[in-house]
Amino acid sequence: MAKILVTGGAGYIGSITRYFLEQHGHSVIVADNLSRGHREAVPEKILRVIDLHETDRLTTLLKEEQVEAVIHFAAYIAVGESTQVPELYFSNNVSGSLSLFEAMLSAGVKRLVFSSTAAAYGIPDKVPITEDQTIAPINPYGESKVMTEKILEWLDRYREFRNISLRYFNACGAEPAAGLGELHEPETHLLPLILRAVQTGKPVTVFGTDYPTPDGTCIRDYIHVSDLAEAHVYAVEHLLKGGKSDVFNVGTGHGHSVKEVIAAAEAVTGKKVPQTIGPRREGDPPSLVADSNKLQRALGWRPKRAELEHIVSDAWQFAQKHPHC
Ligand code: UFG
């Protein structure tokens, strides 16, 4: 049982991780500036509205609440936006993270789980992707996460700042037991857009059908957000037990094409998905699939909800309670 600060705990993955931390008996405080998160995703008693750049307020919070470890989600995540305003991504994701790390060092809190991304690999040399593959992000979003991982490596080496970076693949689904799910605005992710198409009748666009994949559409490793959230619980507990710093991919190890996700949505909803075929989206690699064996071996984590139908079904339950009409 530990006292854990979750930054960005009003966001999609942060809010669901907060829920699983509590299920595991931990006591959680959430710090979020609510610029992109949702107040209603956090119990009011544990929410502190703070920006990452407010170093002194973070230091005071960490001390007053006697926080033992931090899970750091607060970041901007839109790849397209990061190519339009890169400075926003470096300011919020890199300088904001550094401010948090400075606050943690001032308060003597030296355990952190960091929300990183498969975007670190850019267009990978080979698939499935292991952690030792070339780091070569192709957009400012991915670069902002890589830069933060680098800072963490140096803090580990010279400040005994123990940290785990989790490189996520495609998080999706929802946690029905907690009433929490994906509510980005604007939404750019495939599955919520497919479900919106079912709800509104406005077609989702399939970005390219001429990729070198079996059905011509891109392949991604779709991981249930609750499996991803549990990986954070394993990681923070590992650090609290004195575990060393490391970097892990978090995915299922299985890829699905855009067409397969659409087929799964049709099976789950019992409705046709209105769709149009569009050109390729800039910067989309044909296939991104995780090799998560390192995480499975080191921390004993397993994805328990890996079937696509399970993921889509939970996302659909959530979407029906938050309709877009
Ligand atoms: N896609 C469509 N139509 C859409 C949206 C997406 O066909 O309207 C396709 C994309 O081309 C891609 C797949 O669906 O092949 C998944 O796209 P998402 O936008 O849902 O996710 P990405 O794989 O592009 O990005 C995700 C995360 C990023 C992270 C990246 C890491 O959202 O934050 O994985 O590889 F950087």
In CATH terms, the superfamily for domain 190-220+253-321 is: UDP-galactose 4-epimerase, domain 1 (3.90.25.10)
> What is d(CA 271, CA 316) in angstroms, rounded to the nearest whole number?
12
| Cβ atoms 43, 259 nearer than 8 A | no
Q: Is the C-beta atom of 195 inside 6 A of ligand 1? A: no
Domain positions in the chain: 3-172+222-250, 190-220+253-321
Of the listed 89, 121, 141, 222, which one is catalytic? 141
Atom nearest to 188 CA in ligand 1: 19
**16: Cα within 13 Å, side-chain hemisphere:** 24
> What is d(CA 173, CA 312) in angstroms, rounded to the nearest whole number?
6
> What is d(CA 80, CA 274) in angstroms, rounded to the nearest whole number?
24
Say whether 48 sits in a helix, a strand or coil.
Answer: strand
With both helix axes pointing from N to C terminus, report the angle between 96-107 and 55-64 in degrees, rounded to the nearest 10: 40
Global model pTM greater than 0.95:
yes
CATH number attached to the domain at 3-172+222-250: 3.40.50.720
> What is d(CA 286, CA 293) in angstroms, rounded to the nearest whole number?
22
Per-residue pLDDT at 325: 54
Give the pair of three-digit tokens for residue 208: 């390219």
> What is d(CA 243, CA 57) in angstroms, rounded to the nearest whole number?
28
What is the C-alpha end-to-end distance of the chain, expressed in Å?
A: 43
Q: Is there a catalytic annotation at residue 211?
A: no
Residue with tokens 């957000």: 225
Q: Is the C-beta atom of 118 inside 6 A of ligand 1? A: yes
Q: Is the C-beta atom of 260 inside 6 A of ligand 1? A: no
Atom nearest to 284 CA in ligand 1: 11
CA of 313 to the centre of ligand 1 (A): 19
Each residue's pLDDT tens digit in the chain (325 positions)? 999 999 999 999 999 999 999 999 999 999 999 999 999 999 999 999 999 999 999 999 999 999 999 999 999 999 999 999 999 999 999 999 999 999 999 999 999 999 999 999 999 989 999 999 999 999 999 999 999 999 999 999 999 999 999 999 999 999 999 999 999 888 999 999 999 999 999 999 999 999 999 999 999 999 999 999 999 999 999 999 999 999 999 999 999 999 999 999 999 999 999 999 999 998 889 999 999 999 999 999 999 999 999 999 999 999 999 887 5
φ/ψ region of 206 (left if φ > 0, alpha if ψ in -120 to 50, else beta) reads beta
Nearest CA to ligand 1 atom 16: 190
Fold matches, 3-172+222-250 and 190-220+253-321:
no
CA of 190 to the centre of ligand 1 (A): 6
